[in-house]
Amino acid sequence: MSKRDRRLAVVASPAARDGHGSTLLKFVRTYGEQLQDYDIHATGGTHETLVRTGLFSPDRLKAHASGEAGGIVDVANLAFSDSFGAIAMLLDPTDPLAESPENLALQRACIKSGIPQLMNYGDLAHWIEYEADLEDSVAAPTLAQPGEEIVALIAHDGKKSGMLEFFAQNVAFLTLRHKELIAT
């Protein structure tokens, strides 16, 4: 496993990190043992929250400035240099800063560098259980058999005609090989 794969960046808005039931603390309580093997880079308040748990040795936690002070930009820069196995972006959708240019830049850095973006508890749990350390994890779940899968066709309003064209070109495959189709 490469050094990159042992590095996780975490950016969490206050709602996702503060309070006993927060997404970040729930993840850390559940998977703290597995996280001991990772160098964790965290911005401002997220770093402070992780330190307060007492679960991580100081040499495994790397502090970056708060998001407002450029910490997210620092993490995005490291992402462009392919420094992380994954990046957790636990953002509160009701927080206007969730769609800040810095967060969008970090998302683009993940896409460009092929780094998994972990956006919620389910993403985090799936990553740590199935992707983070494949030689130590349980076997990946088996794929559904033909005829058991459900397919969702989702398109933005401006792309609905393209989705209908795709459906028309692939109607036999989509209707005969799948249990159910859902479309927007």
Residue 9 lies in a domain: yes
Asked whether the whole model's pTM tops 0.85, one would answer no
Q: Are residues 33 and 81 in the same domain?
A: yes
Residue 26 shares a structural domain with residue 117 = yes
**Which pairs count as long-range contacts for 121-125, CB under 8 Å and 24+ apart, including other chains?**
121/23, 121/26, 121/27, 123/88, 124/23, 124/27, 124/31, 124/88, 125/27, 125/30, 125/31
Residues 156, 106 share a domain: no
Q: Which CATH number is 112's domain given?
A: 3.40.50.1380
Question: Which pLDDT score, from 0 to 100, does residue 143 have?
Answer: 54
Print pLDDT tens along the chain (184 aa). Answer: 455 578 999 999 999 999 888 999 999 999 999 999 899 999 999 999 999 999 999 899 999 999 889 999 999 999 988 789 999 999 888 888 788 899 999 999 999 999 999 999 999 999 998 887 654 444 444 455 666 777 788 888 888 888 888 888 888 877 777 778 888 7
Q: For residue 151, what are the CA distances in angstroms to 1, 158, 162, 167?
A: 34, 21, 17, 11
Pick from 86, 98, 97, 101: nearest CA to 31: 86
Q: What is the pLDDT of residue 135?
A: 46
Do 106 and 44 share a domain, yes or no? yes
For residue 163, the model assigns a pLDDT of 85
Contacts of range 163-171, beta carbons closer than 8 Å, 24 or more positions apart:
none
- Residue 7 contacts by C-beta under 8 Å, 6 or more apart in sequence? 38, 39, 40, 41, 83, 84, 85
Burial class (CB within 10 angstroms; exposed 0-12, middle 13-18, buried 19+) of 52: exposed
pLDDT score of 146:
62
Residue 155 domain flag? yes
Residue 139 domain-assigned? no
> Which of helix, strand or coil describes residue 40?
strand
pLDDT score for 138 = 42
Residues 36 and 114 in one domain: yes
The total of structural domains in the chain comes to 2
Asked if 88 and 124 count as a contact pair (C-beta separation under 8 A), the reply is yes
Whole domain around residue 178: which residue ranges? 150-183
Instruction: Report yes or no on 40 lying in a domain.
Output: yes
Determine, yes or no, domain membership for 144.
no
10 token code pair: 């975490």
- Max alpha carbon distance in the chain (Å)? 57
Closest CA to 46 of 76, 78, 30, 22: 22
Position 141 in a domain: no
Residue 137 lies in a domain: no
For residue 66, what pLDDT is reported?
92
Query: Residue 113: is it exposed, middle or buried by C-beta count within 10 angstroms (0-12/13-18/19+)?
Result: middle
Q: Do 115 and 48 share a structural domain?
A: yes
Question: Given this model, what pLDDT does residue 144 score?
Answer: 58
Helix (H, G, I), strand (E, B) or coil at 145: coil
What pLDDT is attached to residue 136?
41
In this structure, the answer to whether residues 22 and 109 fall within a common structural domain is yes
